[in-house]
């Protein structure tokens, strides 16, 4: 028999590659469709309860808050069921056994992808109080989710540049006031506040632009952590320090849904919050600012080493 020509072999490879892309497209579209339907399914009752919450009766508001959290947790459970049914992901999670649902936590984590949020929600759903994020004010206009975040009392922050604050000094402290108002809700029931300390997602370009001293991380922004501790230090009890590693590379949401993610590693360490972190003025006290930066830098150096060790082990297994 004649061996197939190089051109025929190349054509066969192209055909298989095209078929693989088609399957990935169908797989991803199906998964995203299910996630979208799950969001709409739970958004409807969530909106109805949010309307009741507008009534000026405090006991009713607290009851609505609890129902809203339960609805949000059901939505997350739905997402988990969809992903476990449509994806073949090996989850390697350690350090969550000591967590409690009736405590107040500050959750910090490295940030590589929007998938991080799905990972955090999936790992901590019903293990700790429902995660609350500080969001940019513009995100309230995100379809469906924006109003859901508002109903769940996610704090919406209006970030101003230094130049803007120089021209409009009256805007200083607005975010702190928003956070303090949020604390009134957070103190009524156990809450977990999420803070991506790097402030943005890791990319090679951002890493180079910062000249980051960490191989796998951007520089930590101590100001955001100081802001949260200063405004909510009396409420928060512990830090949940999370490290997420994607051995195959940080995926996009589409890559996750289309079946390209095979393994996700999550390491969790619970830390006490030092009393001194609640008492200083980060903006005005240079000594306190240096101490807080050093404290956070030590955690980031440990996290960088942990990521390196995890990736090294992943390549040998």
Determine the pLDDT at residue 179: 64
- The string of pLDDT tens digits covering residues 216-246 is 999 998 887 887 887 777 788 899 999 999 9
Determine the pLDDT at residue 166: 64
Q: Among residues of the chain, what percentage have pLDDT more than 90?
A: 59
Residues 96 and 49 in one domain: no
Determine the pLDDT at residue 278: 82
Give the range among 23-37, 147-161, 177-191 with minimum mean pLDDT.
177-191
Residues 52 and 120 in one domain: no
Determine the pLDDT at residue 215: 96
Domain stops at, among 62, 86, 110: 86
Residues 75 and 201 in one domain: no
Residues 213 and 262 in one domain: yes
Residues 54 and 201 in one domain: no
Residues 111 and 16 in one domain: no
Residues 112 and 64 in one domain: no
- In the predicted model, is pLDDT for residue 5 greater than 70? no
Domain count, the chain: 2
Residues 24 and 51 in one domain: yes
State the residue range of the domain holding 53: 7-86
Domain stops at, among 86, 121, 146: 86
Determine the pLDDT at residue 173: 61
Residue 1 covered by a domain: no
Residues 63 and 11 in one domain: yes
Residue 136 covered by a domain: no
Residue 227 covered by a domain: yes
Give the range among 47-51, 107-111, 165-169, 255-259 with minimum mean pLDDT.
165-169
Residue 152 covered by a domain: no
Residue 160 covered by a domain: no
**pLDDT band at 1, cuts 50/70/90?**
very low
Residue 154 covered by a domain: no
**pLDDT band at 84, cuts 50/70/90?**
very high
- In the predicted model, is pLDDT for residue 93 greater than 90? yes
Determine the pLDDT at residue 20: 79
The pLDDT of 186-204, averaged and rounded, is 88
Domain stops at, among 24, 57, 86: 86
Residues 206 and 79 in one domain: no
Residues 55 and 103 in one domain: no
Measured between alpha carbons, how far is residue 180 from residues 55, 100, 226 in Å? Answer: 22, 24, 14
- In the predicted model, is pLDDT for residue 311 greater than 80? yes
The pLDDT of 246-275, averaged and rounded, is 95
pTM: 0.88
- In the predicted model, is pLDDT for residue 146 greater than 70? yes
Determine the pLDDT at residue 168: 61
Residues 281 and 203 in one domain: yes
Residue 174 covered by a domain: no
Q: Among residues of the chain, what percentage have pLDDT more than 70?
A: 87
Residue 177 covered by a domain: no
- The string of pLDDT tens digits covering residues 268-306 is 999 999 989 888 888 788 999 999 999 999 999 999 999
């Amino acid at each position: 028999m004649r061996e197939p020509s190089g051109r025929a072999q190349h054509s066969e490879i192209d055909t298989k590659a095209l078929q693989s892309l088609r399957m990935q497209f169908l797989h991803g579209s199906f998964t995203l469709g299910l996630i979208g339907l799950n969001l709409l399914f739970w958004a409807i009752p969530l909106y109805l309860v949010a309307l009741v919450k507008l009534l000026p009766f405090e006991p009713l508001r607290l009851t609505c808050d609890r129902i809203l959290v339960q609805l949000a947790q059901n939505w997350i459970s739905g997402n988990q069921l969809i992903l476990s049914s449509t994806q073949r992901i090996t989850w390697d999670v350690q350090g969550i056994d000591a967590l409690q649902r009736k405590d107040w936590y500050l959750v910090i984590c490295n940030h590589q992808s929007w998938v991080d949020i799905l990972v955090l929600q999936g790992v901590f759903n019903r293990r700790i109080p429902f995660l609350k994020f500080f969001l940019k004010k513009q995100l309230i206009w995100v379809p469906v989710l924006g109003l859901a975040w508002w109903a769940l009392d996610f704090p919406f922050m209006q970030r101003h540049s230094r130049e803007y604050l120089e021209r409009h000094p009256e805007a200083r402290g607005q975010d702190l006031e928003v956070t303090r108002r949020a604390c009134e809700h957070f103190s009524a029931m156990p809450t977990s506040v999420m803070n991506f300390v790097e402030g943005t997602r890791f990319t090679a370009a951002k890493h180079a632009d910062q000249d980051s001293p960490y191989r796998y991380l951007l520089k930590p922004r101590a100001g955001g952590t100081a802001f949260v501790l200063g405004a909510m230090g009396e409420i928060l009890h512990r830090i949940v320090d999370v490290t997420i590693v994607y051995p195959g590379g940080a995926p996009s949401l589409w890559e996750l849904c289309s079946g390209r993610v095979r393994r996700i590693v999550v390491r969790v360490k619970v830390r006490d919050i030092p009393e001194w972190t609640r008492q200083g003025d980060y903006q005005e006290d240079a000594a306190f600012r240096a101490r807080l930066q050093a404290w956070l830098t030590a955690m980031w150096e440990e996290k960088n080493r942990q990521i390196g060790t995890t990736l090294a082990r992943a390549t040998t297994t």
